[in-house]
Structure 1
């Protein structure tokens, strides 16, 4: 069985902000015909590398993926991922990848075996953060963990991504990033041993964080759900092993009122994001246009069970959700990605200046009360 991507790294407080949407009305596109990898499905990360020109559903789907390298204000070098937008002049990434860097960010496309096919740069003045992004501690899953990078020059040799304009809860997706890699059954977390390559995998958007947190609020005293906190949408996924024990979101749904459904996964194709994958893309297949649409941006990760009792399952008394508690990307762990369907107007207003920027809505920031622990997406380079 293989695993790859999973957000880990720096510890950060994740908001206990809930959600309330019946996922059943959004469960669509369960055909796995589009989910056949073009490399072997063994456990080694080397089998999940993606190369320039590699075909997914007959399309070079991941050529527009970018590796971002930069120094943060603490002097450390970090890596994130991003997605080239249609037109070639901008990259969409996570807000927490663009809100704290100094000097110049390097943006690389076609990075394979440690060499980039195309390189651009980004300065601080070239970064547009989502206007409602308030930093990781205050708005991690509010649906605004987004930043747009204006490249030093447009990329004309690679096709950028069109955006999904639909709520994609229930859909299977292709994920990719240039972060750490590992396996679900490892006793340790993903690492940089295969860091000269990007990696891909598949998963399913099970539920929005708003729905999840509203359900948790109904059974966990003091959870603190506030509907006004959500000014966008965050999709949640779990790392399924094919067994009921690791269907974390399905198990939590069962004890919180069944506001959504979640199955036991995509078998050997299943994966989860890892440190350094933050800002990378989740793509859904659009059969009508014959292309992969950018559906969401990798944001955060959360273990099912944790040694300190702050795992997702711990709050509702479920055990066995995470088979490897010292592995931040093991079966039963969770990830969150910021959806783009309800951010299209803002994205277009930045990438096409003739479109006015949407007026910011008033909203309440909800601070964490329960101290949930998740790893933020960017990952320090060793």
Structure 2
């Protein structure tokens, strides 16, 4: 890699950092704690200046089932790779960030939280590849020095471009101009170029999760104020919808040349300042730096926590991000117990479990959500021995990853566990 492009990038980043560093003359305007705009997730089938809301097509906040099923299939195929990109059980599943200053600040808060998460797959390596000043209108160019910095950061982390399989992408255009929808179409066009570049630069990238801007009503510069921060959500929405429709950005080699990774929303985090959205999210002025645009510690932690929750719960991330639950070794006792088969997976209506029960007496088969909530259970009669088929009704459960376990009352060993997927 030439040192000249990287040097130019470092100079550009330093200039951008200097320009965006809060000065005494710059102060956020904490009186602007609401704009009257409606978050996309609350707008639903309603519209903003003629554009339908919702995160996905038809004003829905739920990924279309077929797109989710495709994502789950890809996620289940993700396996650790070596630095040459070949499968290696001792390799890594590399997750990186791509984006600008806000992205790196938020991802730097995410990394220690994710690394400390008890359920994180230890084979997952997380690398921050976002750089201050590298807005969408800069990195849309495949020859931009930014892409050399991505390779350099991966190398310093002991990884490589060929090892990356998952991306968190958060971008915006610096100092946008023009009216909606043209300004958002410009961002969507730039994002389209970026996700294509991801596949060119990172040959094994499979999944990309996007997040739009957080609230910018307190901003006192033209870097990315409202309503552009709000409208960036439409650019992400339109990008993902284009792939869902099959218009472009093919991710399936069975349908032709692969142009991009599979795309989905990560956490959607725009809320109207101190006006709570439907899930209660607000953005206090104290969460922002002095320019009202960049995140202070409060905003960084909120984004980081939301991102971690998304990776721990999304049915397309848990197969590779969460440690697989396997049967506990039977090192002691005379009872023989194991789950021999769980089907169908993914399940949609009824989950069947073939299990060999021991002599531990009555027990319970339980199904938990990814957050640990008990959502279904079935008692095991004390007379049950040998192999038995049990069935759980999962028809009312939403799509996602769930955890199945059973324990016999007189057996002191840990529950036998199994991870399953429910898809609609």
Same topology, TM > 0.5: no
Greater fraction strand = 1
TM-score class, shorter: under 0.3
Greater fraction helix = 2
Task: Tell which structure's C-alpha radius of gyration is larger.
Answer: 2
- Normalising by structure 2, report the TM-score: 0.25
* Higher RCO, 1 vs 2 (CA within 8 Å, ≥6 residues apart): 1
